[in-house]
Amino acid sequence: MNLLLYGAPGSGKGTQANMLREHFGIPHIATGDMLRAEIQAGTELGRKAQPILAAGQYVSDAIMIGIVRHRLGEPDCTPGFIMDGFPRTVPQAEALDDLMHELDKRFDRVIYLKVPVDDLLHRLSGRLVCPQCQRTYPPGTAACAADASVLVQREDDKPEAVRPRIEIYLEKTVPVLDHYRHGRLVSEIDGRGTIEEISSQVLTAVASKNGQPARAAHAAVKKQKA
Ligand code: AP5
Ligand code: MG
């Protein structure tokens, strides 16, 4: 099972990826988390990436493609994976096509979490993150449910970085959706319900084979059960 989560900053990719990881027992490949781990470890890549992330800009395609190529070659990806945050540009999408072809893999579904910009701004400004395991939480959460760490704000959730992140998403990442729409792989989900409601729609969409809208697929499943 190879899944791709697509959506704007704050649309809930990480939140739903955690649910899918637990549900299917396959790794969550989050390029943003990988970059933040490099920054935390003080590697050369981390030192280069830190000011780029803090400004809400994108790390170069060549670097990102190299990171993903290496990660997808690791043995835990053999049964499947959940990709989050990549591809973010059309050249990244084209490189991922080539890589998937080389590895003889294909995506089973692309989940597009669609959330209006005002909601994104609200979510990002209040988001809390576990500095140890990177799980994200809504405002007001006291500690990480997994390891009890004190939660912090992500550097790029500060007001000066949030707008540039949305702008670069609109310019460079929105065209990536068309790349996958041609292959009828995309399930578009209104990402504004509760986390549990969205999770249920994501699971229904993953189970659908033909890219029909998640709500329609959900209704079809309910009808079958009745
Ligand atoms: P990355 O870490 O991927 O950030 P992002 O795409 O901006 O997405 P976020 O992680 O901010 O949001 P999310 O969709 O995961 O939402 P979440 O589930 O946390 O990338 C960071 C940076 O790394 C980039 O800006 C770039 O610099 C660099 N980078 C990474 N990949 C790159 C690439 N391929 N190429 C170039 N550069 C790259 O949810 C957000 C909040 O909302 C949370 O508080 C959550 O609890 C809450 N929430 C979730 N669902 C709901 C709901 N249904 N209702 C209410 N609240 C909800
Ligand atoms: Mg995320």
Per-residue pLDDT of the chain in tens (226 residues, 90 and over written 9): 999 999 999 999 999 999 999 999 999 999 999 999 999 999 999 999 999 999 999 999 999 999 999 999 999 999 999 999 999 999 999 999 999 999 999 999 999 999 999 999 999 999 999 988 888 888 889 899 999 999 999 999 998 999 999 999 999 999 999 999 887 899 999 999 999 999 999 999 999 865 554 444 444 434 433 4
pLDDT at 179: 92
Quote the tokens at residue 208. 């659908």
186 Cβ partners below 8 Å, 6+ apart? 6, 110, 111, 112, 177, 180, 211
- Catalytic-residue membership of 21: no
Task: List all residues whose CB is within 6 A of at least one atom of ligand 1.
Answer: 7, 9-15, 31-32, 35, 52-53, 56-59, 64, 85-86, 88, 92, 123, 127, 136-138, 156, 165, 191, 193-195, 198
Cα 163 to averaged position of ligand 2 atoms, centre (Å): 16
SS3 29: strand
- Catalytic-residue membership of 109: no
Question: Does the model's pTM come out above 0.85?
Answer: yes
- Catalytic-residue membership of 192: no
pLDDT at 12: 96
Quote the tokens at residue 98. 């080539």
pLDDT at 210: 55
Print burial letters for 127-162: b (CB count within 10 Å at least 16), e (below 16). bbbbeeebbbbeeeeeebeeeeeebeebebbeeebb
Mutate which of 35, 68, 174 for ligand 1 pocket (most atoms within 8 A of beta carbon)? 35
Q: Which of 13, 109, 123, 135 is catalytic?
A: 13
pLDDT at 219: 44
Label residue 49 exposed, middle or buried (CB < 10 Å: 0-12, 13-18, 19+). Answer: buried
| Residue owning tokens 């986390």 | 195
Cα 97 to averaged position of ligand 2 atoms, centre (Å): 22
Quote the tokens at residue 211. 């890219």
Mutate which of 123, 144, 174 for ligand 1 pocket (most atoms within 8 A of beta carbon)? 123
Q: Which of 36, 88, 123, 135 is catalytic?
A: 88
- Catalytic-residue membership of 88: yes
pLDDT at 93: 97
Q: Which residues pair with 189 in a beta bridge?
A: 113
pLDDT at 49: 98
